[in-house]
Each structure stands twice: as C-alpha cells, then as structure tokens.
Structure 1
C-alpha cells in the first residue's frame, strides 16, 4: 500500500482527462523516482500557470496575457473569425497552422438536456465583434467549427440564423469530420481537409 499522500496525488491525477487510476499511478511512480529533478520543475510550472492564466477579453482563449497571443498577433487576418465550442478546439485547430484568422470561444454548446441556453454561452460578444453598431465590424467571414454532434450542429444552426442580419459570409467545416467526433481528438490531416473544404451554411 502506498502512503496516504501518494494515494492522494494519484487520485488527483486520475481526474485529469485521459488519465485513469492505473495511468495516474504510473505517473506518480515516475515522479517519485525522479523527485529531485521532475517534481520541482512540475511544481514551478503549475505555480506559474496558476498565477498567470487569464481569459482573453476578445476571443475567450486561455493564455498568460490579455489579449491572448493570437488576438495580439498583427499577422492574423481579423476579417475572418473561426467560432469553436471550447478552448481545446481552438488549440487543436491552431496547432494545424492552417487557419490564419482569429477565433471566438463559445464556452460550450446549446443543450436542452443540460439546460444550456444561448445566454449561457459567449454569443453576445461574438455579435459585438460582427456588429458595426456595437463597435465591431470589418468581419468578412465567420467559420462555424462546431463539433459534429447533435448539440454542436444545433449550435451552428442557431448562430447561422443570428448572423444572417450581418453582411458576413458564413461557412462551416466540411463534414469529413466523423459524426460524434470532437476536434481535440482529430489528427491534423483530418482537420486540414475539413478546413480546406469548408462551405456556406445551408
């Protein structure tokens, strides 16, 4: 039996996505064996993240500065906004280095079953970015990069209807994406094909 402290660490790690109890125990064992080098580095990194993480006031990305590195990058095409459900989707798309515009994180998806309504998502600020009357405007294209789930597509259709009143082209990722798939788990080839084959929303 491991000590109470080691069990507590394994239990905490097992709550992380992709880590079950066995993987967490292996990670703890690896850390314990290399505690002189690995543990101080891990603790410093965790403390640094804890003290400096902020949410971007423009797009909703998580970064160590506000605006985030993407929104502050002058090379980005601000006329094109890719709308995603969560920060993990933004990171997955940006890793592929195929989209040169900016992003907007909704913070979830519409779900009647879970009681998630439009006002619970970061939709109003998206409209402000598009609406010249609200200080926005200058946007030519909105890419709806929702996950290929029922809730994701419901969210995409809702946004398309809301955006109809603005002079923007509305596109969405091609449905070469697997039904039920989530962007964060897709390989870069699949993401690349989906981005290149984006099309107008019906």
Structure 2
C-alpha cells in the first residue's frame, strides 16, 4: 500500500521517491484526517473539474468565470500554454481581456500538433469574434516561440494585430546574474525610453 502511494505521489512534477515517502509518512503518522481531506479533495477535483468550453482553462462550470464576465474586454485574447499561466497574469491585476489555453506547445517530436493544442478551435474563435489583438504569452522556449510564430501566422489570415509579451531582465534583476540568451532577447526587444 505504501509503495503504491509512493508511485502515485511520485507522478507529481518535482516529487521524487524520497519526497513522496516524506509526504506519506507525515500523513500516516501525524495527519490522517488531513490525508482523508486530501483524498476527498482530489477525488472531487478529478470528477468535477473540466475544461471551459470557450477558453479551455480548468473550471467546475461549462464556462469559466473570466469568459462569462461581461466586463472583460472581448477584443483582447491572451494565448497561454497552461491554466496556471492565467493565474499568474491575473495576479498582476493589469490584464482585463480574455484568454485561450493551449495546454502545451507545438512539438512534432512528441506528437503534439495544432489539433492537440486546439488551434482549430482558436481559428474558429478568431474568424467569428471581434478580436482585435492577440497577445502571445507562450513561454520563451524554442517550442514556445515556434508555437507563437504559428499562431501569429494564423492571426494574420484574419488581419488581427498580434503582440508578444516582453521577455528579458526581471525587475530587480542584475545583469551579472542574467544568462546570455535573456540579455540578447532583452536587447533585441528594447523599446523607446519615454
């Protein structure tokens, strides 16, 4: 039973066998009630959480709170790789548009193409809606850049303005500790100083 639990916990990102073992023994020795609450919460989530029919984020409803919010700007659509990216952007309190979640990035080697990312759904959305700006917020990885380029070309078909979130030196970051690729990207993406 403990080995089965270890294998289950080890499936989580960043959790190895030793960390899983620490979780298991903590719950079994010190917090059985917490373990039961965790099991119930996981079961409930696995049974009730699904993808939003519009943006593909995770929600308990058919349409998530952001998509059903009439105050949000329908003309801006931010493309993200994961539902957790939405959470990070929302914490900034700056963006007031809507989202589309890819749940990954283009990776032909791994068998992930346009249809696996819902890009056919995105194209329908772009052709039917009044989106005037597509904001590409994919990660600054090779796969993220390839995915962003693909989506940019898709948006061009519908004459939709495409912007890319800025990447570069983080606020409070020091050049001395920044990698060369980040510095190069920051220099190539520089803007006028106002």
Band the TM-score falls in, shorter-chain normalisation: 0.7 to 0.9
- What is the TM-score when the length of structure 2 is the normalising length? 0.80
Larger relative contact order, structure 1 or 2 (CA cutoff 8 Å, min sep 6): 1
Which structure 2 residues correspond to residues 1-202 of structure 1 after superposition, within 5 A?
Answer: 5-131=1-127, 136-176=128-168
CA distance in 2: counterparts of 1:152 and 1:106, whole angstroms: 11
Aligned length: 174
CA distance in 1: counterparts of 2:9 and 2:22, whole angstroms: 10
Change (3 A) 1:42 1:128: same
CA distance in 2: counterparts of 1:71 and 1:150, whole angstroms: 29
Give the conservation status (yes or no) of the 8 Å contact 1:130–1:166.
yes
C-alpha deviation, 1:157, in angstroms: 0.9
CA distance in 2: counterparts of 1:144 and 1:98, whole angstroms: 15
Change (3 A) 1:121 1:75: same
Secondary structure class of the residue paired with 2:109: coil
Secondary structure class of the residue paired with 2:151: helix
Which piece of structure 1 moves more, 162-171 or 109-118? 109-118
- What is the TM-score when the length of structure 1 is the normalising length? 0.77
Alpha-carbon RMSD: 2.4
CA distance in 2: counterparts of 1:39 and 1:83, whole angstroms: 36
Give the conservation status (yes or no) of the 8 Å contact 1:148–1:177.
no
Q: Structure 1: any 5+ residue segments left out of the alignment?
A: 179-193
Give the conservation status (yes or no) of the 8 Å contact 2:155–2:161.
no
Give the conservation status (yes or no) of the 8 Å contact 1:146–1:152.
yes
Give the conservation status (yes or no) of the 8 Å contact 1:141–1:170.
yes
